[in-house]
Amino acid sequence: MKIAVVCPASLPATQFGGIVFLAVDLAREISELGHDVTIYTTDLDFTNGPNKFNKALPRLEKFEKFKINRTHTWFSLKLFFINPSMYKQIKNDKPDIIHTIGLRSFQSIIAWLVSKKINIPLVVSDQGGLTTHPFLDQSGLFLKILYRMQNFFIKRIIEHSSAISAANEYEKKIFSGINKESKIEIIRNGVNLKSLVSKQNFKEKYQINSKFILFVGRFSKVKGIETLIYAFNIIKNKLKITDIRLVIMGVDFGYQNEMFGLIKKLDLSEEIIVIKNPPRDDVISAYGESEFLILPSQWELSPLVPLESFAFKRPVISTNSHGIPYTVQNNKNGILVEPENPVQLSDAIAKLLNNSELREKLGLSGYNFVHKECNCVSMAKNSLKLYEDVLENNQNK
């Protein structure tokens, strides 16, 4: 089978987020099963920021048994990257099926247009919010107009698609609300357990001489970093837990300066370690040496970061908002609190810090969860089965 995986970013832009890892892991695992897989994407590099495009990256590059086909981005509006020449690349290659990941993207529009033009079945997944992301309501007039335009295309893409791959029941409900006639399969997001192996001494590299708790993600308001900093201030100054540090790892998505300002205002510069643009190996090592992960997001669809933490038997504290409870299950593999509630969050942090047995119990449950359900091997096999069903149904029409 010849498969086109379409997404707004790929290697080396690992700091873009979950879309990159999902597409790469899907391509890797399915190509290992003997299929011809190409990721069609932009030349986003991320070396110096979230909107850096690099013409020097190879246009066609082979990784293991799959390929990455990059076309240059002419310009971008926020995370909407315009690379029209992708259309010709996919059309000329004539794949048997197209799978687009990240519906709120220019690349999904291209995938839809090619699918319509040469009658190739289209499978869609989302990792970008569809109708529920807070920035859709909180943005200025220009972006709201842009998002409304995107919504027009999203609806058309979903109506045209042969099948939808939804990561959880929450996401399935959103898709059903857009088009009740859609064929929707729940295929859990999965992480690459083979790559999640610590290769260095994280504490030694960053000269951390105490236990630490961890945040990994974009420096963005929606990730709840402000709530986390206020909660950590309570831990230090009210609950008087002094033998702990907070490590924040990620890349700036508009909140970095405000974050540093808040840390300075609360006099936590010695207690909070911020690591900007961390190498992937450092992130992996941090999981393994942390006490647990904290993801205090106001919104997530199906986050991968908790699954990576579970791979190291580390529990997760997160919020009970949107799709998070389908990954972080309260009192089973983590603790859920209300979003934007630093008091609740500080109580949950203190609870885990003071109870090693609970940490071990929740961490082990998370570890079993990723090994049984949320790993890239299972994700790829289930996706391949969906492709085969789509192609069979298409032939019988």
- Name the more confident of 147 and 193: 193
**Residue 179 DSSP symbol:** -
Predicted confidence (pLDDT) at residue 101 exceeds the cutoff of 70: yes
CATH topology of domain 2-190+376-395: Rossmann fold (3.40.50)
- Name the more confident of 55 and 3: 3
Q: Considering only 28-32, 126-130, 211-215, 327-331, which range has the smallest mean pLDDT? A: 126-130
Q: What does the alpha-carbon distance between residue 163 and residue 123 come to, in Å, rounded to a whole number?
A: 5
Q: What does the alpha-carbon distance between residue 132 and residue 174 come to, in Å, rounded to a whole number?
A: 8
Predicted confidence (pLDDT) at residue 13 exceeds the cutoff of 80: yes
Q: Considering only 69-73, 108-112, 141-145, 392-396, which range has the smallest mean pLDDT? A: 141-145
Q: The tokens of 198 are what?
A: 């610590």
Percent with pLDDT over 90 in the chain = 76
- Residue closest to 389 by CA, chosen among 245, 184, 233, 174: 184
Per-residue pLDDT at 141: 72
Dihedral, 315, 319, 324, 330 alpha carbons, nearest 10: 50
Q: What does the alpha-carbon distance between residue 333 and residue 368 come to, in Å, rounded to a whole number?
A: 9
Residue 155 CA from chain centroid, whole number? 22
CATH topology of domain 202-372: Rossmann fold (3.40.50)
Mean pLDDT of 93-102: 96
Predicted confidence (pLDDT) at residue 129 exceeds the cutoff of 90: no
Q: Residue 286 — pLDDT band, cuts 50, 70, 90?
A: very high
Burial of 92 (0-12, 13-18, 19+ CB in 10 A): exposed
Mean pLDDT of 115-122: 96
Mean pLDDT of the chain: 92
Q: What does the alpha-carbon distance between residue 71 and residue 40 come to, in Å, rounded to a whole number?
A: 8
Residue boundaries of the structural domains of the chain? 2-190+376-395, 202-372
Q: Residue 199 — pLDDT band, cuts 50, 70, 90?
A: confident
What pLDDT, in 10s, does the model give residues 242-259?
Answer: 899 999 999 888 899 999
Per-residue pLDDT at 200: 84
Mean pLDDT of 134-150: 68
Per-residue pLDDT at 15: 77
Task: Say which residue the tokens 């879309």 belong to.
Answer: 19
90: phi then psi, degrees, rounded to nearest 5: -70, -45
Predicted confidence (pLDDT) at residue 95 exceeds the cutoff of 70: yes
In this chain, the answer to whether the domains covering 2-190+376-395 and 202-372 adopt an identical fold is yes
Percent with pLDDT over 70 in the chain = 94
Q: Residue 5 — pLDDT band, cuts 50, 70, 90?
A: very high
Mean pLDDT of 274-294: 95
Angle at the Cα of 51 (from 50 to 57), degrees rounded to 5? Answer: 100
| Amino acid (one-letter) located at 204 | E
Alpha-carbon distances, residue 101 vs 18, 85, 88, 97, 107 (angstroms): 10, 18, 19, 13, 9
Q: What does the alpha-carbon distance between residue 37 and residue 314 come to, in Å, rounded to a whole number?
A: 33
Q: Considering only 43-47, 89-93, 199-203, 238-242, which range has the smallest mean pLDDT? A: 43-47
279: phi then psi, degrees, rounded to nearest 5: -60, 150
Per-residue pLDDT at 290: 96
Predicted confidence (pLDDT) at residue 189 exceeds the cutoff of 80: yes
